[in-house]
Every structure is written in C-alpha cells, then in structure tokens.
Structure 1
Amino acid sequence: MTGPRTIGVDVGPTNTDGALLVGDAPAATVKVPSAGHPVDSVRTAVAALLRDAPRAPRVTHVAIGLRSAAHAVTRREGLTRVGVLRIGGPVSDAVPPLAHWPADLRTAVHAGSAMVEGGAGLTPADATALDRDAVARFAAGLAGRCDTFAVTGVFSPVDDTQEHQAAEIIRREVGADSFVGLSAGSGGLGLIERENSTVLDAALSRHTRALADALTAALGALGLSSATILVARGDGTLTSLEYLRLHPGLALGSGPAGTLRGAGLLTGLTDAVVADVGARRIRVGLLAGGFPQESRPGLVIGGVPVSFPMPDLIRVPADDPDAFEEAVDRMQPGAARLPLVVVGGGSAAPAATRVPAAHVLLPEHGLVAGAFGAALSPVGGAHERLMRAGEAAGTNAVDEVREGARRSAVRAGADPRRVVVLPVERVPVPYLPGPAFSLRARAVGPPSPL
C-alpha cells in the first residue's frame, strides 16, 4: 500500500474507534473501551493502531472526532465564566443576555453582562456609533475576575467592525491574552441564537486549550510529534488544533458528523440516510452531497438555542424498531427513497437492519465508520454575507464570499494550493425590511503538509 498515512479516531461514550489508512486503504482498525478522559481514549486507540501496523509509512496527520465539548455543556463541567457584551442599545434590550438559559448553566457561565449603544445596520447609514466608554467601563469592572468575553452586535454579520473595536477595548482593559469571542462568524442574523453560540464558544475556551495541549503531548509521546493534529467539526470537515483554540464551538457535533461522513465514504454514496447504532440509542441523519445535512433553525444544546453548524439528527431508543422506522422515514428527503446505511457498534442488530421499503447497506468497517470519516474528511471553511436585493449589482459579491470561504479553510489548516470552493448558496431572508438574502460559500481542501 502506498500513499499518505493517516489516523482517524472517533471517541464515543462507550467505545473509541480507530483506523489507520495508507492512502484510502485501511492498514489497521481497532475498537477499544472509552476511558474516563477523551485524551486517554485517543492514546489507547492510536497506540493499538501503531502496534497493529508498525511498518506503514510515517503518519502525516491524526484526525479526531470528539464529544467532549458537548459533554462539557450538557454536564456543566469544565466551563469558563464569561463576560457577555451586547452591542445594540434599546433596539436589542427586550430580552437580556442569557435570560432563558437553564439556571444551573447560567450560574456556571455568567460572569457579568452589559448592553451598550451601537450596532451595525443593513446599510452604513443605518449604523449607530459604538459607546466605547461603556465598553471600557464594563471590561474594567470585570478585570481581575474574568478574562473570557463574548461580544455580540446587532447586524454584525453584515458589518463586524464594532465587534472588533469592542474586542480591542476589552483586551486593553483586561489583558492582551484574554479570550474574546465575536459573534459575526456564528452565522445568521438571529441575535439571541448568535449570542448564545458566542457565549458557549467562549465558555469552552479553557476546556479546549487544555484538551489541545493534552492531545499534543499524548501523541508526541507516541512518536507522532511531526503529525498534524486535526479535530472533526460539526459540518463534516476538519479543523486544526490551532484554529479550534480560537473557535472551540466548532467541535460541537464532531462525532456524529464524522460518522455520517464515514458511512458515505465506506459505501461510495454521497446521498443516503445513515443510522449510527449504539448500545442504547440510534442516531439517524442524512448525508447530502457527501456532507451531513445541517440542523434546522431551533437547534438546542444543553437547553440553549444556538446557531452552530451541526448534523440534523433524530435520536431513538435502540430497542424500539417502530421509532427507528419512523425516524428513517422522516429523514428521507422526498418520495425517491435513498438507501439506508447502517453503521456503529450495534449495526448487526435485527432492529437496525430490517426496515421495510428501505435498501439497507452494511458496509465493511462500518463498526468504525466514525474513525474513517475523521481520517478521510477534508479541512473546511465557510463564509457568509447578508445583502439587500440590488446591492450586489455591479459588484463582485459572489467572488468576495468565495474568497472568504477559501481564506477560512486555509486558516483552519487546509493546503492553500488545493482548496476547492463549493457552489455559493443564495438563501432569501424574508423577515428584513425590503428583499434581502444571504450568500454562503463553503470551501474544502486536504490538510496542509506544513
């Protein structure tokens, strides 16, 4: 076997799966019990792979699907307290920050909040000047007690200038090394969901830094210090550890997304319904164009509405065949039935394979589909721009969005020479004054060799 040597690992709640590939061909696969800490699970799986295939070429990168970020949120463990700043003035104060969060999660995360004058508009003429003094007072009031902040501005996906100005003021008052998450890259105009996502992103920052350091040390001790370490993200692509430190929420949905990708890669399908069968539950998702169908508006994590890109999943008990059949039917995108790919540790169970009116596939290596999905997924990036109808006339708006997506993928660790930008989506935004739409592009590429 020839080609680059890559390792994929999927850390699940019960078992951790691993696959060592040379090119696209498996040289070794393992399934080991998951340990108490995800880094211990990764270490055990990778060590077993290296023992089983000691003569394969040097490992170029290790890609890992993790659920630790989601567990930190749902279990309220390892979260950092966050100073929450909203830029918008009276136009945005109907619902205060974190108002509808579960009380225990709010207590674990909230260090203080403020709403200040400012905010972008759909056009430059609609913007309100940022109250820079109010930002400074807020940051100074938390100095010494909090070094992690989340900044959300009204209409910042249109113009994020004021979010960056606020971040500069906060770092001046609190310290240059403070973590300041900005909402403009979280997608969508919805203020509350975007703010919630930014706060959770910031709350996960310390957890993610510790995890990144521990993974680097553990894999270095196994002789993989020269390998690039990547983490699966919720949209079915990968990101470097360095980029994940800046955007911790990208790892939410990491494990399920990798499993959906793996199911497609193992069968050669780009469109399919996928069932990931575990010991206690089955997760049913849709693979569309080779990537997971992302969750619709209304996604909730730990009781909090958010706007992260994550797979759209239906979860049912593993011992309920009727619920499973209904979930598969609901996931079908239309009258033309897609094949059902069944993967995961319980994929051979009768309830998972006997679905009327479905063409069921059980791929070889389906027991470790998540590890294959991690190992063979590209590094990804995305860029979105909100516009009013007519604004793009005579401009290079589509080219700008494409270039933004390409830059995002390169920052996340993609080889700049081999990035491919997928077709730009144009989505109407009906609730704004006057016709408006969103331009969104995604870009993918293999990991950078540097």
Structure 2
Amino acid sequence: MYKLGIDVGGTNTDAVLIDENLNVVAAIKNPTSGDIYEGIMGAVDAVLAESGVDRTQITQAMLGTTQCTNAIVERKGLAPIAILRIGAPASVGIPPMVDWAEDIASVAVDHAIIGGGFEFDGKRLAEFDEEACRSFFEGVAGKVGAVAISCVFSTVRNDDELRAAEIAREVLGDDVHVSISSEIGSMGLVERENATILNAALHKVAERFTEGFAKSLEERGIVNAEVYLSQNDGTLMTIEHARQYPILTIACGPTNSIRGASYLSRMDDAIVIDVGGTTTDLGVLSSGFPRESGVAVTIGGVRTNFRMPDVISIGLGGGSIVRQREDGTVTVGPDSVGYEITKRALVFGGDTMTATDIAVRLGMAEVGDASKVANIDEELATKALAAMREMVEEGIDMMKVSNEDIDAILVGGGCIILPTDLAGTAKCVKPEHSGCANAIGSAISKVSGTYEALVDYDVTPREEALANARAAAIEEAVRAGAVRETVEIIDSEDVPLQYYPGHTNRVKVKAAGELVSMA
C-alpha cells in the first residue's frame, strides 16, 4: 500500500510515493508550468514512472496546491457572490469590503446589513430580522451561486448565522454554497467577514481542481485512492471539506514543508528554512506542527483573521539572480529566473548568474556543469554567499522568541545554496530527501480539529471549560476523518481578555489524529 504526496511550488511541483512504513519509495521534482494543473499531472506521471509500483496499490493521494492563493492574487476564477451581515444597527458604520480594491470587490453582486447579532457575552444585540434576510436572498436569486454570512460575535453564538444559512438554502436551493463566518475566522468582525467572503468566492475554483485531480488520477490507473487536500495548519482535509472551506488551502505549501522537515529530521521543535527557486520561507516547528500566526494576515490585499502559519518569506532562492555593482558590492535577488532555472542558469548553459551557480562555484553543490562557472571570480562568489547567509540569519532572528540559539532544518530544492553553520542556530541539518520535504509533509500529514470560544470562568470553571474544549476539538478531528483512537491534543491555550468584564478567556484547543489505515 502506498501514499502519493504532491505539493505545488512557484518553481517546482514535487511528488513522492511513501509505503505503509512511511519510507520514501520515489521522489521527483517537476517544473511548475504556466498551467499549474499540467505541472501537477506531470509530477504524478514522473513519480509513477520512477517507482514502477502497482497503481492500484496507491490508497491515499494528498495534494497541496496554490490554486486558491493564485485565484485571489490574480483575481481569476472567483465566483459572483452575495454578502449578508447580521448586526444592524451596531455595525452599519463600516460596510462590507470597505477597504477592498475595486478589481476584487467586484465579486460581490450585492450586500446587505440586517438586524440581529449578539454582545460579547452572548446576549442579544438585536432581534434577528428574518423578513429582511429572506428578502435579500430573494433579490439575488439566479444571480449568485454562493453567499457569505457574517454576524456580530458569531464566534460566541452563531444562532443567527445558522438560521440565515437555512433561509439561504430555502430561497436559493440546496446547491448554493454557504460560507458562515463562525466556521472560518476568529474574533474581529471585519477580518472574519473578509475571510468568509473570499471563501465563498473560491468555491468554484475548489470544485474545479478537486474534481479534475480525482478524475486525472483515475485516468492514470489510480482508482483505489482516497483523495485529500493539504490545509494551512499542517493537516489534511477531505475533498468535501476542501470544497466547503477552500480558503484553508492557502499557505499550505510552507506548512507541508514544516511537517515534512519534522518527519525527515525527527525533530519536533526547530526553525524550518524552506528554500525554493524564488523565495525562502522561514517557519517555526512547535511540537511537530507549524506555529500559528497571532496577527491578522493580508491575502491579495484583503485583511483576514482566519488561521495561518507564522511564516516569513524573503526574496532568496536557487534561481535568485546575482549581480555585482560598480562599487564592488554583490546583491542576490529578489528577482529570480524561477522555473526557467534549467535554461537560464550558467551551470545549465544559460547566461544568467544565479545563487545555484554560486553554490556550485564554491563546491557546495554538484548541479549541472561545474566547468561553466569556473570563471566566476572567487571573491564575487564569496561576497554573494555572505549576502545570502546574512538574509537568512536575519530571518532566523525575526522568528526566534528569545536570544538563545535554536535548532534549524534546511529543506527545499534550493537549500543547496546555504551552509549549515548559520548564526543563531544551535544545530542546523539538511536531512535526506530534504528537496521534497513539502510533498513528504503532504503525504504524512494528520487530520485535525479546532475548537475556539470565549468562556467566563466565573460561570464555567477553568478546568471544566478546558475539558469541554478538548472534547469538542477531538470530535471536530474525528468528524474531519481522523481515527478516534489516535487523536491527541496538540495545542491548548486560554488567554484572559482584560477588556471584558468578569474572568472572560479566549479558549482555543487543537487536536490531530491519523487517517484511516492504508492496510
């Protein structure tokens, strides 16, 4: 029995086959083409050819894709939607999408703010205006296939959102895609609403790539595989879950690399330095999973607050262009030859000096034809390496939470350009198969569930509240496809909210477990 893991990057699409003992059977890198889907299936064909395994023995296929991210950034493939906010009169001062760029705000056919919603303690802000809700959906009938519903303090009580969703399906039909903010974002109405709008607009994109991926696997004889999508907390979700919450696939690439780095290095706490062809992503591995960002994240110019990995990106990769200025200083990047590295880099007979050429010139890597970079001045190469080292070491300092040295793991196809003696690190390793850590992370990922709520400890004692939250998180993981016996709590926090009366705390618990056995 085998698992097929695929991860799409800006330069390469990686694919791996892993057996039932989680040993890597085959791993390949295939250039990411202009047509991302073509690159995905090219990688699948290549890894199948290299492994020679019986395709009917592949029982799970996992895909980490950038298609939703690209759709938002490029404003392509987004579906027309309707936006309903429940929170009048309190929230009418700031309309939906107030700070959105016009080219992406155009996804909204219509929006409305109706009466309803709750206070921070769950008390009613205003009565839910069911008549206005029904009237709004009747007005957009036949014009949209998806709706985004948000409500004031719906993370405390989502009664009004659920009722509005029922009305939407009654009026627009069961085929309408309904995105509910309490299932997507965290505290903060506007940012949570923004994430919900993007999720609704992405539903057609998700439908197309999930259907296409599953169909193409079948065409290649992979007929017994259950298909999963990588999500941005380092875990997996089913096709059905991905179609309902496509926004959760955004930034799954860095999280796949972090999970893969943990598996390959057998380390649970470290900084992961994932070097691609164009950028280097630095993330923190905490208890075997990516550290989550604690701040609002902007995607394609839209400010959101749904869960995202705590990752920084710098303009350094294997294809980064190296230049020497008139004053003798050397710069590396941020521009890159990207997936054209095998055509444009000097070691491959091209005419552009890249970071990979520098690594080959200094004897750090064996790629292409070393004789083609022998004439690069050693002083220039040394300065370029120093520039690359400085960029990464600054990134390490930004991700650390103390001044103590921390372990680091170098992964990604471009990690050949960096040394392992980086300042700020106690130990820095490049594990075997590090070039395909992202695809490996996709293949070995678990299934997770998260529970978040505001709890007044004067009403519900702390231990009872945490126990309830743990149980709810475990149920969410099981509902997402995890085997109950394998589910464990991987993160738990309760943060006092000083600006709330009483002893109100934000309680958040995450659980994860194994997929159904491949046997």
Report the AA paired with residue 422 of structure 2. V
User: What's the counterpart of residue 83 of structure 1?
Assistant: 82
1:210-255 deviations in whole A, cap 9, x for unaligned?
1111011011112222211111111111111111111111101111
Relative to structure 1, the CA distance from residue 396 to residue 44 in structure 2 (aligned partners, 3 Å threshold; closer, same or farther) is same
User: What's the counterpart of residue 300 of structure 1?
Assistant: 298
User: What's the counterpart of residue 58 of structure 2?
Assistant: 59
* CA contact 2:496–2:505 (8 Å) conserved in 1: yes
Report the AA paired with residue 334 of structure 1. S
SS of match in other structure, 2:484: coil
Q: Taking every aligned residue pair, what percent have the same amino acid on both sides?
A: 33
User: What's the counterpart of residue 221 of structure 1?
Assistant: 219
Q: Offset of 1:394 from its aligned partner?
A: 9.2
Q: Which has the larger radius of gyration?
A: 2
Q: Offset of 1:33 from its aligned partner?
A: 1.1
Q: Offset of 1:435 from its aligned partner?
A: 3.3
2:353 is the counterpart of 1:356: no
* CA contact 2:11–2:278 (8 Å) conserved in 1: no
Relative to structure 1, the CA distance from residue 431 to residue 205 in structure 2 (aligned partners, 3 Å threshold; closer, same or farther) is farther
SS of match in other structure, 1:335: coil
Report the AA paired with residue 356 of structure 1. A
Distance 2:30 2:414 in 1: 15
2:435 is the counterpart of 1:345: no
- Paired residue for 2:188, among 176, 187, 190? 190
Relative to structure 1, the CA distance from residue 93 to residue 52 in structure 2 (aligned partners, 3 Å threshold; closer, same or farther) is same
- Paired residue for 1:40, among 38, 41, 52? 38
* CA contact 1:122–1:387 (8 Å) conserved in 2: no
* CA contact 2:79–2:145 (8 Å) conserved in 1: no
- Paired residue for 2:396, among 305, 328, 333? 328
For 1:26-425, list aligned pairs within 5 A. 26-55=24-53, 58-107=57-106, 109-318=107-316, 319=332, 320-321=387-388, 322-350=390-418, 353=420, 355-358=422-425, 359-393=427-461, 396-425=464-493
Q: Offset of 1:278 from its aligned partner?
A: 1.8
User: What's the counterpart of residue 5 of structure 1?
Assistant: 2
Distance 2:483 2:501 in 1: 41
* CA contact 1:81–1:148 (8 Å) conserved in 2: yes
Relative to structure 1, the CA distance from residue 438 to residue 124 in structure 2 (aligned partners, 3 Å threshold; closer, same or farther) is closer
1:100-120 deviations in whole A, cap 9, x for unaligned?
11221112x211111011002
Q: In the comparison of the two structures, how many residue pairs are matched?
A: 445
Relative to structure 1, the CA distance from residue 242 to residue 68 in structure 2 (aligned partners, 3 Å threshold; closer, same or farther) is same
Q: Offset of 1:124 from its aligned partner?
A: 4.6
Q: Offset of 1:423 from its aligned partner?
A: 4.8
* CA contact 2:85–2:113 (8 Å) conserved in 1: yes
* CA contact 2:404–2:424 (8 Å) conserved in 1: no
* CA contact 2:116–2:124 (8 Å) conserved in 1: no
User: What's the counterpart of residue 340 of structure 2?
Assistant: none
Distance 2:497 2:62 in 1: 36
1:291-318 deviations in whole A, cap 9, x for unaligned?
1111221211011111122211222121
* CA contact 1:426–1:440 (8 Å) conserved in 2: yes
SS of match in other structure, 2:392: helix
- Higher mean displacement: 237-246 or 387-396: 387-396
- Across the aligned residues of Structure 1 and Structure 2, the Cα RMSD in angstroms comes to 1.9
SS of match in other structure, 1:209: helix
Q: Offset of 1:272 from its aligned partner?
A: 0.8
SS of match in other structure, 1:88: strand
SS of match in other structure, 1:375: helix
* CA contact 2:491–2:511 (8 Å) conserved in 1: no
TM-score by length of 2: 0.82
User: What's the counterpart of residue 432 of structure 1?
Assistant: 500
Distance 2:300 2:225 in 1: 34
1:312-366 deviations in whole A, cap 9, x for unaligned?
122212135233221111112223211221111110114x645224232111111
Q: Offset of 1:420 from its aligned partner?
A: 2.2
Distance 1:119 1:31 in 2: 50
1:84-141 deviations in whole A, cap 9, x for unaligned?
111111211221100011221112x211111011002344544422000110111111
Report the AA paired with residue 80 of structure 2. R
Q: Offset of 1:403 from its aligned partner?
A: 2.7
Distance 1:357 1:145 in 2: 56
SS of match in other structure, 1:422: strand
Distance 2:40 2:480 in 1: 21
* CA contact 2:153–2:187 (8 Å) conserved in 1: yes
2:446 is the counterpart of 1:448: no
Report the AA paired with residue 313 of structure 2. R
SS of match in other structure, 1:91: coil
Q: Offset of 1:283 from its aligned partner?
A: 1.3
* CA contact 1:8–1:64 (8 Å) conserved in 2: yes
SS of match in other structure, 1:13: coil
Distance 2:198 2:278 in 1: 28
SS of match in other structure, 1:169: helix
- Higher mean displacement: 393-402 or 168-177: 393-402
Q: Offset of 1:261 from its aligned partner?
A: 1.0
Distance 1:122 1:280 in 2: 44
SS of match in other structure, 2:90: helix
TM-score by length of 1: 0.94
Relative to structure 1, the CA distance from residue 430 to residue 39 in structure 2 (aligned partners, 3 Å threshold; closer, same or farther) is farther
Q: Offset of 1:60 from its aligned partner?
A: 1.9
Distance 1:430 1:105 in 2: 37
* CA contact 1:276–1:344 (8 Å) conserved in 2: yes
SS of match in other structure, 1:85: strand
